Structure formats: structure tokens, C-alpha cells
Amino acid sequence: MTRDLVLTIARECGFELAGIAAAVPSIDSARYHAWVDSGMAGAMSYLTDRRATVRGEPRNLLNSVQSILCVGKLYNGPEPNSTRFSESGRAWISRYAWGDDYHEVLRAGLTRVVDRLRGHTDFEYKICVDTGPLLERSYAREAGLGWIGKNTCLINQQSGSWFFLGELLLSLSLETNTPPPDRCGTCTRCIEVCPTDAIVPFEGRYSVDSRLCISYLTIELRTGIPEALRPNMGNHVFGCDICQDVCPWNSRAPNDADSEFAPRHFAPPLNELASITEAEFRTVFAGSPINRARYSGFLRNVAIAMGNSGEPRFQEHLVRLAKFPQAIVSDAARWALERAQ
């Protein structure tokens, strides 16, 4: 079994990016723990509990692991990005959530890789797609997929940062790839354009303070969003792409033609989202990452986006949401109504 054969199979199974990293403790472990200790993980307990202690050691996931196949799956499309979209009264949903849930797509692709490799040799393995306690961007960098930018996204020189990451831990000894140099240089566009100033200096480099990040606020935070941050959230109801939209390396990013990531939920009207029932929410967003925000969190985000729109036509919806039984929704709706006055 050779590295070239593994990478060829990975690409034939639908991954545009592929590389091999050594299954050794991550050099970013200390930095990660310092980030957690600083409080910048916010309320994301899965990043701070006992799982935080095992993220930098692949053998905690597979004792026999010797190599890590890191893959990238492109999801960019021809649709306009958030900084070039200004249609009034519509919600912005992060590009990664327009289509099918990437967890399932990547897991299926990595399963195909396993099946193909098993035709050549026997081995032990473990598939990881985002949910496993692994510093995946760090290992993807070591596998040569890209460098970690100031916005903490993994950036590939040819393909930009519009790709999902997945890992296949293997008990096979394979030649490793070489990490590329950091090519962000003196560019600070992502830092300057972030509406909530979430990209901050950290230990001689930059990191994202989740507590200020629109993606965290609209997806991970289960409580009310701090009022001081709400005006800068704009029309974002699930995630945020701004730091990627302005990245020069994404200006020539290729488009992905896979139907799984074709937009099912591109900039839907805010009034339609405000009227959706919980049952409809589960149906409309079945198989979509948007479910992670939960129904009440999603309505909270919609109410804030309506308040930021400044459009009086949303008042009727906000009055109704102000009576919602869960406080995170009713509070956001009352705040939005006050902004309209």
C-alpha cells in the first residue's frame, strides 16, 4: 500500500483534496488548550469537556493508527456571496448549509475509500467527520491540504477555503505529505470586515473568539444573543461567510458540481421563515445542517434579522413572535419591534 494509491482512490471517491499526515500528537495542542482556557470556546461544552483533552492525540481514537488520510470536499457554487447580496427582506444562510448535511456526504465518501482500500490489504480504521475529537484543521495542514488563515479557516492555494474536511485514521504506515507555507501575508481583510470583531490577536497569531462570532451566535448559542451584538448580525439567520467571502484566495475558487450541495435554502424570505411551525421546520430542513440551530434558536435569529432590516412590513410577524412561549424568541422579537419604532 502506497501513499499515491491511497490518494488516487480518495480522489476517485469524490474528494478534490487529499493528503497524508503522520498520526502523532498535534503541534497545535497547547495552543488549542490555551484557547479553551481563555474562554473563547463560549458555551460549546464539546470543545471544553473531557473531549478537549484527547483532541491532539489520534491514538485516543484508534490505538493502532499510523497514518491519517485527510480529505477536502468542495462545496462552492456560482451563487453570489453574502457581501454581494443585498436583496431586501431575505435571510442569509451560510453557504455550507444550503444543501445536504455534509457529515453524511463525507462519511459516505470515506466509506467508499475504505471499501476500495480493503481490496488491496487489511487494516483497522476510523472515520472522522467534524464530530470526532480531533484537531482536523491541524492535521489537514500537516497533510498538505492548506494553511490555517487568520480567520482560522483552512485555505488551499488553488481552491480557497470552500471545502469540508474529513479524516480516515488508518493502521497503515504511509509516506506523509508536506504542509504548505502560510500565504496570508500581511492581508487583514477578514479581520477588518468582521461585523462583530470576532477575529482577535491570540498568542502571536490570530484566532476567533466564538463569543463574538455570528456563526456561534446563530448556531451554537442556546440562550439569548447579547443585545450589543445583535445590530451587527445583519440578516444572518444561520452562520456567517463574510470572512471567507472577502478572502482573496476565494476570488478564484472553483465551483462544485455535486448535487448534494446544490442550494435548497438560498436566501429565503424572512416572512416565510417567521411563519414556519416546528413541524414544518423539521420537514423543510430535514437532512440539513440548519437543524442544529433548533427551532427556537432559528426563530430567535429570524426575529433579530427582521429587526435589523428596518422594514415595517415585518411588524405583524414580530408581534406574534413576541408572544412565543420561549424567552429567547420573545425577547428577540420585542427587541426587534423596539428598533422599528
Q: Are 234 and 305 in contact (CB under 8 A)?
A: yes
3-state secondary structure of 126: strand
| Paired residues of 7 in beta bridges | none
Residue 256 pLDDT > 80, yes or no?
A: no
CA 322 remoteness from chain centre: 30
Q: What is the pLDDT of residue 86?
A: 80
Residues 65-90 have pLDDT tens digits of: 999 999 999 999 888 888 888 888 99
Q: What is the pLDDT of residue 84?
A: 85
d(CA 212, CA 196): 6
The pLDDT confidence band at residue 257, using thresholds 50, 70 and 90, is low
3-state secondary structure of 106: helix
Residues 304-325 have pLDDT tens digits of: 999 999 999 999 999 999 999 9
d(CA 39, CA 41): 5
CA 196 remoteness from chain centre: 17
**Structural domain spans, the chain:** 3-89+100-170, 189-340
Which positions ≥6 away from 261 have C-beta within 8 Å? 75, 77, 98, 99, 100, 102, 105
3-state secondary structure of 330: helix
Which positions ≥6 away from 169 have C-beta within 8 Å? 23, 58, 61, 62, 65, 68, 125, 126, 127, 128
Choose among 31, 9, 28, 30: nearest CA to 18.
9
3-state secondary structure of 341: coil
Q: Which residues are catalytic?
A: 130
Cell of 18: 487529499
